[in-house]
């Protein structure tokens, strides 16, 4: 299926009939950009105070959608015509809420950089593609991507609360704000029924939670009615860009269709606000497991310590860091890309400092539809039939004896040629090689080892 998804979707059911026309409030953000968290309502312009800041529909209607509105909010951008070119090429939308997380109207600010069009998006090296993951090639029916054996992804809508400048689906998201038609949904349902090997359906987009709750429920109910589907996952960035969308009414609807899982997309600790925490808590309290998919972004989160802070903050909100994505080879995102070696360095830093619960899997979603490939620092140094040599986070090398067989002859002692080498570990002649001094050894020297193991029962 080569056609753009956007062409075959329909107008989204975001706004209800009584909604005001978009842009009617004259909302602005620029004078209030120094707060460290969401600007309190008292700091907002009169028009915004009058409106209900906590109403997600108001937030959607009052998104910054044009360069004029952007410059109105960020006067420093005036005269930067390249921004208009970038916004013409890739849609612009920023919720008032997300704009209020901006601390400085500059591309040095991570939230600003993720939201505001940048001339660098026009940079177009030849290896970038509109659809590097070739999702359109793995689309047996419009709107359904079937790449992995047991999973399928449904593009429910092309609308997002905010159009992230680093989006993988720049070719679709926001080009036209549309959502799936009943006819498409029925074809998707038929496909899922005909493929009982699909047990996990991901509702994605765009952002499914920009749809009105009844419209979203129709999709979820249709998928849930396929009895071979076990898990429904929703990919949404609304806890980050529109947390007021996580209403009690939405959560009540979702919990009727368990098992429902949600993956969200925090990229930087500046996105942790009281509203975001409350949104995550509401979902977690409803028994919805939460995961997070961070994209590794140059100048935003390509720093080991910042990534540690992000992962710790997520776990505190009961959100499991699930994936750390290498930036895809998507047209318009070259300035966000980092070397894979930097990602490995970050993973190396996290291991040993954070519990496994807080460490995401670093993956490269391979160009050409190759799927997600986990990338790890190398912890296996060498292996032989008798021993595998492993490295821990401290740099300690450990010889792990493989199971004995009649052919193997482990453990013959050091050869007497001096200090052990990796070769001695691989041959089983030495058990380990370790750095002379580590924090762990320091801690050990500060207490006397227990003479009786703690876990002895009499």
Count of CB atoms situated within 10 Å of the CB of 291: 18
Choose between 173 and 226: whose C-beta lies nearer to ligand SF4.
173
Choose between 364 and 397: whose C-beta lies nearer to ligand SF4.
364
CB of 82 to ligand SF4, least distance (A): 20
Backbone torsions φ then ψ of 326, nearest 5 degrees: -65, 140
Report how far residue 193's alpha carbon sits from residue 229's, in angstroms, rounded to the nearest whole number: 9
Choose between 166 and 429: whose C-beta lies nearer to ligand SF4.
166
DSSP helix/strand/coil, 446: coil
CB of 366 to ligand SF4, least distance (A): 19
Both tokens assigned to 342: 């930097």
CB of 453 to ligand SF4, least distance (A): 50
DSSP helix/strand/coil, 402: coil
CB of 95 to ligand SF4, least distance (A): 11
Peptide bond into 203 cis (omega under 30): no
Choose between 117 and 205: whose C-beta lies nearer to ligand SF4.
205
CB of 168 to ligand SF4, least distance (A): 6
**Conformation bin of residue 101: beta by default, left when phi > 0, alpha when psi is -120 to 50:** alpha
Query: Which residues are catalytic, by number?
Result: 147-148, 151, 160, 164, 167, 169, 328, 365, 372
In contact, 157 and 207? CB cutoff 8 Å: yes
In contact, 311 and 362? CB cutoff 8 Å: no
Query: Helices H, strands E: what count in the chain?
Result: 15, 13
Choose between 109 and 207: whose C-beta lies nearer to ligand SF4.
207
Choose between 73 and 294: whose C-beta lies nearer to ligand SF4.
294
Q: Which helix (H) or strand (E) holds 191?
A: helix 182-194
Chain residues binding ligand SF4 by CB under 6 A are 160, 163-164, 167, 169, 173, 205-207, 237
- Edge to edge, the sheet with strand 387-391 lists 380-383, 387-391, 397-401, 432-433
Report how far residue 399's alpha carbon sits from residue 387's, in angstroms, rounded to the nearest whole number: 6
CB of 205 to ligand SF4, least distance (A): 6
In contact, 326 and 339? CB cutoff 8 Å: no
In contact, 161 and 237? CB cutoff 8 Å: yes
Q: CB-hemisphere CA count at 13 Å for 177? A: 19
CB of 178 to ligand SF4, least distance (A): 14
Report how far residue 344's alpha carbon sits from residue 392's, in angstroms, rounded to the nearest whole number: 15
């Amino acid at each position: 299926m080569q056609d753009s998804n956007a062409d075959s979707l329909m107008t989204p059911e975001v706004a209800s009939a009584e909604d005001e026309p978009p842009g009617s409030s004259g909302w602005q953000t620029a004078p209030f950009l120094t707060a460290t968290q969401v600007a309190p309502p008292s700091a907002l312009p009169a028009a915004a105070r009058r409106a209900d800041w906590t109403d997600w529909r108001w937030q959607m209607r009052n998104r910054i959608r044009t360069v004029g509105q952007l410059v109105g909010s960020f006067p420093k951008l005036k005269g930067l015509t390249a921004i208009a070119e970038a916004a013409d090429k890739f849609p612009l939308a920023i919720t008032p809420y997300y704009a209020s997380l901006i601390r400085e109207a500059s591309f040095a600010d991570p939230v600003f950089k993720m939201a505001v069009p940048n001339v660098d998006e026009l940079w177009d090296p030849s290896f970038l593609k509109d659809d590097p993951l070739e999702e359109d090639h793995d689309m047996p029916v419009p709107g359904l991507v079937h790449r992995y054996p047991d999973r399928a992804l449904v593009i429910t809508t092309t609308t997002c609360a905010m159009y992230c400048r680093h989006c993988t689906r720049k070719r679709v998201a926001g080009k036209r704000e549309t959502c799936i038609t009943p006819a498409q949904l029925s074809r998707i349902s038929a496909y899922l029924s005909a493929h009982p090997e699909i047990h996990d359906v991901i509702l994605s987009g765009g952002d499914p939670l920009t749809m009105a709750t009844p419209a979203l429920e129709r999709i979820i109910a249709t998928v849930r009615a396929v009895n071979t589907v076990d898990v429904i996952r929703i990919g949404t960035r609304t806890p980050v860009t529109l947390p007021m969308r996580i209403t009690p009414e939405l959560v009540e609807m979702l919990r009727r269709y368990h098992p429902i899982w949600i993956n969200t997309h925090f990229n930087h600790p500046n996105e942790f606000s009281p509203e975001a925490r409350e949104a995550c808590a509401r979902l977690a309290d409803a028994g919805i497991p939460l995961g997070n998919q961070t994209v590794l972004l140059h100048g935003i989160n390509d720093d080991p310590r910042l990534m540690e802070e992000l992962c710790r903050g997520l776990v505190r909100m009961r959100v499991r860091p699930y994936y750390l994505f290498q930036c895809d080879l998507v047209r318009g995102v070259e300035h966000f890309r980092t070397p894979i070696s930097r990602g490995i360095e970050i993973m190396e830093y996290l291991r040993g400092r954070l519990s496994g619960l807080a460490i995401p899997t670093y993956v490269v979603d391979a160009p050409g539809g190759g799927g997600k490939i986990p990338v790890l620092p190398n912890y296996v140094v060498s292996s032989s039939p008798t021993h595998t040599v492993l490295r821990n986070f401290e740099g300690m090398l450990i010889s792990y004896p493989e199971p004995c067989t009649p052919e193997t002859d482990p453990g013959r002692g050091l050869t007497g040629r001096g200090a052990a080498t990796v070769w001695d570990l691989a041959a089983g002649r030495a058990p380990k090689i370790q750095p002379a001094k580590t924090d762990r050894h320091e801690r050990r020297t500060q207490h006397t080892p227990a003479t009786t193991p703690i876990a002895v029962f009499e």
